[in-house]
Amino acid sequence: MRLVLVGPPGAGKGTQAQFIASNLSIPKISTGDIFRANVSGGTELGKLAKEYMDRGDLVPDEVTIAMVRDRLSAPDAQEGFLLDGFPRNVPQAQTLNKMLAEFGTALDLVLELVVDDEEVVRRLAGRRTCRSCGKVWHVVFDPSSKEGVCDVCGGQLFQRDDDREETIRHRLEVYQQQTAPLISFYADEGILHGVDATGPVEEITQRAMQVLRRYV
Ligand code: AP5
Ligand code: ZN
């Protein structure tokens, strides 16, 4: 299954991607996670991406597309994948279609996680991530038992630089201007399915899996 998750920042793409990818036994490919790993590793790519990420802007297409092409060429992505955070605008979607055609394949499905702006701000303002294992927590909706410490590995929790309220609002604008047009792009291709992304995490996973089971 070749799958894309689309939705505003904080819709729960990363949270759901982890469960869906594991249910379907396909790799989860998150461009945000790859960029953040490069920022932590101090690579040239990370230095370039950080500037855009901290502002809440998109990293330039040529950089992002080259990175995705590389990742999709890896052996573990040949039988299927779940893309989280890519494509992010129509040119990226068009390039992805061309890239997959070169590989002799195509996308099967695009799932849109639907959630309103106020819920997005609540989710992102309270998000905390483990510095050691990467597990994502929420101070209200999914708190660790000891503040600032990961229950899974004992690592330190931190707040992402782009999760300040002002940057969150800017990311929402960028989403509306650049990413939301993908909804009609994929609807026109007949592969878009909307999923209500409010309520408990497990219920949202079940809603998504109900749609996906029709295709696997
Ligand atoms: P990226 O990391 O992709 O950020 P995003 O799209 O803004 O998405 P988030 O990671 O913020 O949110 P999410 O939807 O994954 O939510 P999560 O599951 O964590 O990109 C970051 C930056 O990288 C971009 O701004 C850009 O600069 C760059 N970039 C990335 N891809 C790019 C591309 N293709 N082109 C160009 N630039 C690119 O959940 C959020 C919180 O809510 C968590 O705390 C979670 O615990 C909680 N939560 C989740 N589900 C629920 C629920 N059902 N109820 C209550 N709380 C919940
Ligand atoms: Zn941890």
Contact status, residue 4 vs residue 80, Cβ threshold 8 Å: no
Record: fold of 2-115+168-213: Rossmann fold (3.40.50)
Residue 24 tokens read as: 């379907």
pLDDT above 90: residue 216: no
Nearest ligand to residue 148 Cα? 2
> Is 122 part of the annotated catalytic residue set?
no
Q: How do residues 89-120 score in pLDDT, each as one tens digit?
A: 999 999 999 999 999 999 999 999 999 999 99
* Domain boundary assignment for the chain: 2-115+168-213
- Please give the model's pTM, rounded to 2 decimal places: 0.95
Contact status, residue 141 vs residue 123, Cβ threshold 8 Å: yes
pLDDT above 90: residue 190: yes
ipTM score assigned to the predicted complex? 0.96
Q: What is the whole-number distance in angstroms between the Cα of residue 102 and the centre of ligand 2? A: 39
Q: How do residues 128-166 score in pLDDT, each as one tens digit?
A: 999 999 999 999 999 999 999 999 999 999 999 999 989
| Calpha distance 79→63 (Å, rounded) | 25
Check residue 84 and give its pLDDT: 98
Question: With 0-12 CB in 10 A as exposed, 13-18 as middle and 19+ as buried, what is 208?
Answer: buried
